[in-house]
Amino acid sequence: MSKTFAINAGSSSLKYQLYNMPEETVIAKGVVERIGMDNSIFTIKFDNQKEEKVLDIPTHKVAVELLLNALKEHEIIKDLTEITGVGHRVVAGGELFKESTLLNDEVIKQIDDLGEFAPLHNKAEAEVMRVMREELPEATMIAVFDTSFHANMPAKNYLYSLPYEYYTDFAARKYGAHGTSHNYVARRAAEMLGRNVEDMKIITCHLGNGASITAVEGGKSVDTSMGFTPLAGLQMGTRCGDIDASILPYLMKKLGLTDINDMVNILNKKSGTLGVSGLSSDMRDVEIAAEEGNERAQLALDMFNSRVIKYIGQYVAVMNGVDAIVFTAGIGENSPETRQAVMEGLTWFGAEIDTDRNKTRDEAIISTDSSKIAILNIPTDEEVEIARDVERLKNK
């Protein structure tokens, strides 16, 4: 039996799940938070037990060492050689990486260099890869890119209407994100409907703190709402989504800002549901406030739902049809209210949500039997998809 890690490193965090493969059973999982800050938090869950420690974890290297030691201490593994595979989630693959790729020194350097596209993520991811290769030299190690599912969209959908040379010279294009999740739920939807994903048109709505919608035709992403970076598309927890670029110089003048990065920081961190509601980036808080009559909270919800409806409508047109609409991620999976409100805006297409079936957080078909479009709720599982990719490349 081989053990495989799915690793998701962020600028100050490291999430992990350890699987027995090919059974796909999770034997340990957890997260290291606040890396590089005071009072870092290390958690591990295994065998119905949970350990949480608060200590200073100055670097990702220390986080990895702590994790590997914890696995041995709790006798989850006896020896590091039992871990035969590691899949690392990478946020930006740029134009270079259009599929999951085996790691070597050069690939890690290229991922590091792509930091220009995802400053908060790729550098940390490359560092974790280097440390893990030192600790687990025998393991098959791969990178799984958030962007690769979208890498083969048609040019008419990934290009911006800018001077063409900006694409050829600077790789300025739409890259999208959440690819592993969109891919997983699209395939799972086809399985649940007893159909072949290759014959289907599916719209996948990944609605979490970060949110994106993808048009999946024949199992491939043909268009997606996030752009050059995850700032574009829907209204998100703290990100504004689509916006007219001309508003930036106007607002900078009004706000007395001279550095464009300060403005972009506002669009990324102070906008979206947080900015509109003035309350919280968390949909749960905003839903409660709206119920209590807070008008701006209600407005934030209406704006969020409206963007989702518009993107779904757009993608029905992009594919000239749709067989299934899938909801996933924090809000998509857990908020029947959001799913109901969104689908009520799409009845003209013949989509009919079943109010009773919609009262769920689990995997389910939530449309009525007479609905022309299947509607599904599918908890996403990016980690298992990463572990599967490790197996696939290992056996190649």
- The footprint of ligand ADP (CB under 6 A) covers 208-210, 237, 282-284, 287, 329-331, 334-335
How does 243-260 read in b/e, with b if 16+ C-beta sit within 10 Å?
A: eeeeebeeebeeeebeee
Give the nearer residue to ligand ADP in terms of CB position, either 85 or 330.
330
Residue 312 CB, nearest approach to ligand ADP (Å)? 18
Residue 211 CB, nearest approach to ligand ADP (Å)? 7
Residue 154, number of CB atoms within 10 A of its CB? 11
Catalytic residue, from 79, 146, 199, 242: name it: 146
Residue 31 CB, nearest approach to ligand ADP (Å)? 12
How does 355-394 read in b/e, with b if 16+ C-beta sit within 10 Å?
A: eebbeeeeebbbbeeebebbbbbbbbbbbbbbbbbbbebb
Residue 290 CB, nearest approach to ligand ADP (Å)? 11
Residue nearest to ligand ADP (CB): 330
For 203: left if phi > 0, alpha if psi spans -120 to 50, otherwise beta; the answer is: beta
- Distance of alpha carbon 376 from alpha carbon 369, whole angstroms: 12
Residue 15 CB, nearest approach to ligand ADP (Å)? 10
Given a contact cutoff of 8 angstroms between Cβ atoms, the answer to whether 376 and 327 are in contact is: yes
Q: In what order do the strands lie in the sheet with 324-328?
A: 220-224, 211-217, 201-207, 324-328, 374-377, 364-365
Residue 20 CB, nearest approach to ligand ADP (Å)? 25
- Distance of alpha carbon 91 from alpha carbon 146, whole angstroms: 5
* Annotation marks residue 146 as catalytic: yes
Residue 260 CB, nearest approach to ligand ADP (Å)? 25
Strand partners, 16: 7, 30
Active site residues: 146
